[in-house]
Amino acid sequence: MAWAAPLSGASREERRQHAIAKSKWRPIVEAGAARCQQGIPGNGSSGTCIHRTRAIHRGQPWALGHRDDRAGYIGPVHADCNQRDASSRGGIARNAARNGTPRTRRRALGL
């Protein structure tokens, strides 16, 4: 039996839509013309680009970033910027759960 990536809560349709959206950005990223969209004011992302420049260089790992409310995509982001934002959000959600923040409140906070 072949190894499969965990589902991580996303439905098959959500994963398919993500792959389609990422494929549209791939030529721009591979041409070296993409810039990290993490934390740009007005795009729905509160994270931060942790690189000295926002340029995503050809061959550099990247991901398709989500809006904080997960209602859409913000565009390409450095893979480590994406991971840092996800880790931060996970920590916030775990701490909220540990401190007894009701689930509906966590959902309202986007956690």
Q: Encode the chain (111 residues) as per-residue pLDDT tens digits.
A: 344 444 456 788 989 999 999 999 999 999 999 999 998 999 988 889 999 999 999 999 999 998 988 889 999 999 999 998 888 776 555 656 666 655 555 566 665
Helix, strand, coil % over all residues of the chain, rounded to 5: 40, 15, 45
pLDDT value for 95: 59
Contact 54, 36 (CB under 8 A): yes
In this structure, which amino acid lies at residue 6? P
Name the region of 55 (left: φ>0; alpha: ψ -120 to 50; beta: rest). beta
Q: Which two tokens stand for residue 76?
A: 């390409």
What is the Cα–Cα distance from 16 to 103, expressed in whole angstroms? 28
